[in-house]
Chain A
Amino acid sequence: MSAKESTRVEYGKTLAQLGAENPQIVVLDADLSGSTQTHHFAKIFHDRFFNVGIAEQDLMGTAAGLALGGKIPFASTFAMFATGRAWEQIRQTIAYGNLNVKIVASHGGITVGEDGGSHQAVEDLALMRILPNLVVLVPADGPETRAMTRWAAAYPGPVYMRTGRMALPLIYDDNYVFELGRGSLLREGGDVTLMGIGIMVQACLDAAALLAQDGIEARVANFGCLKPLDWELVVDSARRTGAMVTAEEHMVTGGLGSAVSEILAEHCPAPLKRIGLRDTFGMSGKPDDLLKHYGLTANDIKQAALKVIARKANHQVSPVMNLKAPGLAWR
């Protein structure tokens, strides 16, 4: 593995670049600018950076007001507090009001590590995915973080983006172009589809390599745009491979696993296993130990793939009734 980048650091650096390019961009934080990496922006654009102190509800409301005043606010804090503490502010003002606010929350998932369960957001994607108008993004590496951050700055509406603490291997290069509502196919294979988000995209690629050693070819797709989800890619993958695995650093309920289950159940039933946390909170530990404990490793994905492939043999594939995707009509 060569270079590694952390999604939160790449967000912070990109934000500082965007600050120079667009004077309308303003940044808010709630006393975590060193952790969320908004301090890069704060250092250069002092007059466009607003620390509201340890007050996440006020953070979201103030960001909403700045958007109302024509600014492009990026509001950052930990994912736990952004989506938990301030959920109703996001719901009532930012999403309901369809305001041009970018909520970029760091420290998503269990790889926060030592801080423990209180600081590990494993519900944030569920909490955000339920909200109308909101776009939900989870970058898988540095280049995707940079692309999504730039995309969000240009997109005239509310966005939630989750970044993480860990440095991650590079999946893309800087030619990567992010498209709203589009998943990205990383590997072609006909036996099973591995669908990942965030740090689990690399784990899916690693699992595919392990499966290939056993002569099993896995299709791997990154669903970094969780909402709107690439409906067509899910259905197409189910039709082509007939066996599906989702992987996310999140509860298996409410996030990618749920989203894919919903699409499959409604449009193209296929055997599915969901990798993620199951009705449990996180705990302190080294990220790698936690990933093993909660079953979020490449090997766990491989084992899940083998199970769905076995179930595929007995599975009565139902006809796909309507392949016309609803597209982006969700807005």
Chain B
Amino acid sequence: MNAIPDHRHLKEIARQVRLDIVEMLFRAGSGHLGGSLSAADILVALFFGEMRAKAGDPCWIDRDRFILSKGHGAPAYYAILARLGYFPREELDTLRQFGSILQGHPDSGCTPGVEIPTGSLGQGLSIANGLALAVRLNGHGSRIYALLGDGEVQEGQIWEAAMTAAHYGLDNLVAILDRNRLQIDGHTAEVMSIEPIADKWKAFGWHTLEVDGHDIPQLLAAFTACKAVKGRPSMIIAHTVKGKGVSIFEGQKKYHGTAPNPEEYQQALKELGG
């Protein structure tokens, strides 16, 4: 969006997005807290520092495209879309409620700015591939971004899609892995180990890099680096902390899909400066 992203400004946006996430989930009484907070910096860097899109014209043909393959990160996505002006911020108060434009998982039929329904894991990368092929056929310069969860790559379809992207040399595609190391039942290492994850993507033919997923300059540099890659798709493994930003949520599997209680909410507001 911005010509020259101001890192400090983006960091401040990320803080506000985290506050929005905590508010939304507290109000809704349910939702996926941990994975929304872990992805907040990635999404802020992407939407405010990298992607070309117009909130006033969500169907702008030349826009860069984003697929939230880890659809349960919807609260973070919604907070960002609202902040960009895709819909009024008051809508955030209606998350998960009857009649809301903000469904529990992203639904393109309800929410301006959302490209496609997601939430059933493992499917977003194939969709991103299809978009990347379409954009290439159309001769457009748009870039395609997809955010995957680390537990999500346990789905077999991810690896089907990994082969397809490399086979067709989709260099307009960047996948980002939110490597927060936790899934509903516990640590990914215990539930179903995904390591050596970087080597896997490399072996599948992807340009693969690793960054601190909470370091906005690193994320922005990675997006830039991916643009120089020709003939291969890019995977950015973003090392993150689940529940990042609020000490009591960090690294706790309990908060994968749990909303904060009133005490936790107060604590979160204090830590996030709300």
Which residues on A are within 8 Å of B, measured CB to CB?
26, 47-48, 50, 52-53, 55, 57-58, 60-71, 73, 88-89, 92-93, 96-99
A179-B167 Cα distance, complex, nearest whole Å: 40
Q: Is B115 a contact partner of A68 (Cβ separation < 8 A)?
A: yes
Q: A52-B164, A53-B163, A92-B120 are in contact. Are A60 and B126 (CB under 8 A)?
A: yes
- In the bound complex, residues from chain B placing their C-beta under 8 Å from that of A70 are 61, 134, 138
Q: Is B127 a contact partner of A93 (Cβ separation < 8 A)?
A: yes
In the A-B complex, list the 4 residue pairs whose CB atoms are closest, starting with the nearest: A65-B130, A69-B134, A61-B126, A58-B160
**A-contacting residues, B100-131, CB 8 Å:** 107-109, 115-120, 122-131
Q: Is B160 a contact partner of A66 (Cβ separation < 8 A)?
A: no
A73-B131 Cα distance, complex, nearest whole Å: 12
Q: How far is the CB of B131 from chain A (nearest CB, A)?
A: 4
A66: contacting residue among B124, B125, B134, CB under 8 A: B134
A250-B216 Cα distance, complex, nearest whole Å: 56
Q: Is B126 a contact partner of A57 (Cβ separation < 8 A)?
A: yes
Q: Is B137 a contact partner of A50 (Cβ separation < 8 A)?
A: no
- In the bound complex, residues from chain A placing their C-beta under 8 Å from that of B119 are 92
- Nearest residue (CB) in B for A98 is B109
Q: Is A68 a contact partner of B116 (Cβ separation < 8 A)?
A: yes
A273-B122 Cα distance, complex, nearest whole Å: 43
- Nearest residue (CB) in A for B140 is A69
Q: Does B133 contact A (CB under 8 A)?
A: yes
Q: A58-B164, A97-B117 are in contact. Are A68 and B130 (CB under 8 A)?
A: yes
Q: Is B168 a contact partner of A50 (Cβ separation < 8 A)?
A: yes
Q: How far is the CB of B73 from chain A (nearest CB, A)?
A: 16
The interface size bin for chain B is 35 or more
Q: How far is the CB of A22 from chain B (nearest CB, A)?
A: 13
Q: Does B132 contact A (CB under 8 A)?
A: yes
Q: A50-B168, A55-B163, A55-B164 are in contact. Are A64 and B109 (CB under 8 A)?
A: no
A93-B93 Cα distance, complex, nearest whole Å: 27
- In the bound complex, residues from chain B placing their C-beta under 8 Å from that of A55 are 157, 160, 163-164
Q: Is A65 a contact partner of B131 (Cβ separation < 8 A)?
A: yes
Q: Is B133 a contact partner of A65 (Cβ separation < 8 A)?
A: yes
- In the bound complex, residues from chain A placing their C-beta under 8 Å from that of B126 are 57-58, 60-62, 64-65, 89
Which residues on B are within 8 Å of A, measured CB to CB?
61, 65, 107-109, 115-120, 122-135, 137-138, 156-157, 160-161, 163-164, 167-168
- Nearest residue (CB) in B for A99 is B116
Q: A92-B117, A92-B120, A93-B116 are in contact. Are A64 and B137 (CB under 8 A)?
A: no
Q: Is A62 a contact partner of B117 (Cβ separation < 8 A)?
A: no
Q: A93-B116, A97-B108, A97-B116 are in contact. Are A66 and B130 (CB under 8 A)?
A: yes
Query: Contacts A50-B168, A61-B127, A93-B117 given; 4 further ones with Cβ under 8 A?
Result: A58-B129, A58-B163, A70-B61, A97-B117
Q: A92-B119, A97-B117 are in contact. Are A57 and B156 (CB under 8 A)?
A: yes
- Nearest residue (CB) in B for A55 is B160
- Nearest residue (CB) in B for A26 is B137
Q: How far is the CB of B61 from chain A (nearest CB, A)?
A: 8
- Nearest residue (CB) in A for B131 is A65
A99-B168 Cα distance, complex, nearest whole Å: 23
A93-B116 Cα distance, complex, nearest whole Å: 7
Q: How far is the CB of B60 from chain A (nearest CB, A)?
A: 13
Q: Is A89 a contact partner of B138 (Cβ separation < 8 A)?
A: no
- Nearest residue (CB) in A for B136 is A69
Enumerate 21 A-B pairs (CB-CB under 8 Å) in ascending A order.
Answer: A48-B137, A55-B157, A57-B156, A57-B157, A58-B126, A58-B129, A58-B160, A62-B130, A62-B133, A62-B164, A63-B130, A65-B130, A65-B133, A69-B131, A92-B117, A92-B118, A93-B116, A93-B123, A96-B107, A97-B116, A97-B117
A121-B7 Cα distance, complex, nearest whole Å: 56
A65: contacting residue among B132, B138, B157, CB under 8 A: B132
A215-B131 Cα distance, complex, nearest whole Å: 60
- In the bound complex, residues from chain B placing their C-beta under 8 Å from that of A47 are 137
Q: A71-B134, A71-B137 are in contact. Are A65 and B123 (CB under 8 A)?
A: no
